[in-house]
Chains A and B, each alone.
Chain A
């Protein structure tokens, strides 16, 4: 489902680890190595972090003393570069002598246009995930909105799935609250990268589908596998979640 709407998806892969002794020196060496490998795409640095970016490719990478993360504007940049990202993460973790990750998570946030009004999406959320509003009449006379979060395991991975119907105004607030958006601009005065993405989701009610696939205490040798698998798990999960909301048949459950 996410792959069918790649231009309405924002992704974030985050891996946290215990800082190792001498990390400050090692991190700068690692950053130099990554910069050479990533074709001099260093963007900015702080005392304990190095950020690289390819704004044309809607791709951002930050390595810090205790975690690293990749962020993309759109799903395709992440799918196209996931192997490259795996290599970059490997360089950082090897350089910092990290063997074990405290946690790793892949988050995909999609603004799914269901071609429904906000009130209709809310109605479907009650009808499919909650309860008929009539059955809840002893609680309130009217229910104008809803949001749900589900936690579980799919294909062996822990997940958090949240579904939130949004008005066009809420879509706007939600999108512009995404962190690091400004770093996707080639030129902050004239860049169109964010506007192009925004134009694809603006002015319409949407179902905000946020999926986070996560693992704790993962050996670094498993990170690349997680990066690959988490895309398909998130994609499947989003697909069955939206199909359930639309009362469309779901082929199988895992």
Chain B
């Protein structure tokens, strides 16, 4: 048995039955990076006048690989959950005149955050989707939610989301176009920057140095 195969999590000792039956159980757990490995076992059978049955069963335990999620699955979940965000965004219109409008935009923000959390595991597949969702999320931050009172702004957001809810893969051009459309609609897709005047630890202010 090769000893340099960390994925081989369990083997059984060959068992010999009464009629020359040899059973070998191998359990192969796929590594998270799906590295291909070969496992081989050789059993020397003693000479026998009777028929000998050798059974070698290799079991692939695929939970680790499944945990990575397939591209088709992640795409399907993205489309399903984006539809919910579209509905929430579209529904904002009925509360656009309220003074506490920001509280109605929170579910949209929260749903985007939750979806980003899910897609974050497979950003290699859905990186462009994540970029667009972050841009939309940013437009709801730092008072940006106020712009969503405007039906035109909501329409822009919904149109961008509808694209995400209908395509199998989201391309880099889609992300670039979405950014331009949001910018043109007067939204702020860039992450709001918080300026912090407090000095970093160990850093002294200029006036302190000069004094």
Residues of B within 8 A of A123 (CB): 73
Residue in A120, A245, A247, A249 whose CB lies within 8 Å of B70: A120
Residues of B within 8 A of A114 (CB): 72
How many chain-A residues does the 8 Å CB contact rule pick out?
15
Residue in B66, B79, B83, B165 whose CB lies within 8 Å of A120: B66
Sample of 10 further A-B pairs with CB below 8 A, known A114-B72, A116-B72, A120-B72: A115-B70, A115-B72, A117-B66, A120-B69, A120-B73, A127-B77, A127-B80, A246-B79, A247-B76, A249-B165
Query: In the complex, A123→B71 CA distance in Å?
Result: 14
Query: In the complex, A191→B72 CA distance in Å?
Result: 35
Query: In the complex, A58→B168 CA distance in Å?
Result: 34
* CB 8 Å contact bits of B73-98 with A (1 = contact, 0 = none): 10111011001000000000000000
Query: In the complex, A116→B68 CA distance in Å?
Result: 11
Shortest CB distance A247–B (Å)? 4
Residues of B within 8 A of A249 (CB): 165-166
Residue of A nearest to B69 (CB): A120
Report yes or no: A119 in contact with B66, Cβ–Cβ below 8 A.
Answer: yes
> Assuming A124-B76, A127-B80, is B168 touching A248 (CB within 8 A)?
yes
Counted as pairs of residues, one from A and one from B, with CB atoms less than 8 Å apart, the total is 41
Residue B117 at the chain A interface, CB threshold 8 Å: no
Residues of A within 8 A of B75 (CB): 246
Dominant SS among interface residues on chain B: helix
Report yes or no: A115 in contact with B80, Cβ–Cβ below 8 A.
Answer: no
Query: In the complex, A124→B165 CA distance in Å?
Result: 15
Report yes or no: B69 in contact with A247, Cβ–Cβ below 8 A.
Answer: no
Query: In the complex, A7→B83 CA distance in Å?
Result: 34
Report yes or no: A246 in contact with B66, Cβ–Cβ below 8 A.
Answer: no
Binding site for A on B (CB under 8 A): 62, 65-66, 69-73, 75-77, 79-80, 83, 165-166, 168
Report yes or no: B83 in contact with A247, Cβ–Cβ below 8 A.
Answer: yes
Residues of B within 8 A of A245 (CB): 76
Residue A128 at the chain B interface, CB threshold 8 Å: yes
Shortest CB distance A162–B (Å)? 20
Residues of A within 8 A of B76 (CB): 124, 245-248
CB under 8 Å from chain B, chain A span 107-154: 114-117, 119-120, 123-124, 127-128
Residues of B within 8 A of A117 (CB): 62, 65-66, 70, 73
Residue in A116, A119, A120, A128 whose CB lies within 8 Å of B80: A128
Residues of B within 8 A of A247 (CB): 76-77, 79-80, 83, 165
Residue of A nearest to B70 (CB): A116
Report yes or no: A248 in contact with B72, Cβ–Cβ below 8 A.
Answer: no
Residue of B nearest to A249 (CB): B166
Shortest CB distance A81–B (Å)? 33
Query: In the complex, A164→B44 CA distance in Å?
Result: 44
Query: In the complex, A127→B72 CA distance in Å?
Result: 14
Report yes or no: A248 in contact with B79, Cβ–Cβ below 8 A.
Answer: yes
Query: In the complex, A115→B76 CA distance in Å?
Result: 12
Residues of B within 8 A of A128 (CB): 80
Report yes or no: B73 in contact with A116, Cβ–Cβ below 8 A.
Answer: yes
Residues of B within 8 A of A120 (CB): 66, 69-70, 72-73
Shortest CB distance B71–A (Å)? 7
Residues of B within 8 A of A248 (CB): 76, 79, 166, 168
Residue of B nearest to A117 (CB): B66
* Between-chain CB contacts (< 8 Å), 5 pairs: A117-B65, A117-B66, A247-B76, A247-B79, A247-B80
Shortest CB distance A228–B (Å)? 31
Residue of B nearest to A128 (CB): B80
Shortest CB distance B150–A (Å)? 27
Report yes or no: A124 in contact with B168, Cβ–Cβ below 8 A.
Answer: no
Shortest CB distance A245–B (Å)? 7
Residue of A nearest to B63 (CB): A119
Shortest CB distance A172–B (Å)? 14
Residues of A within 8 A of B166 (CB): 248-249
Residues of A within 8 A of B66 (CB): 117, 119-120
Query: In the complex, A245→B79 CA distance in Å?
Result: 11
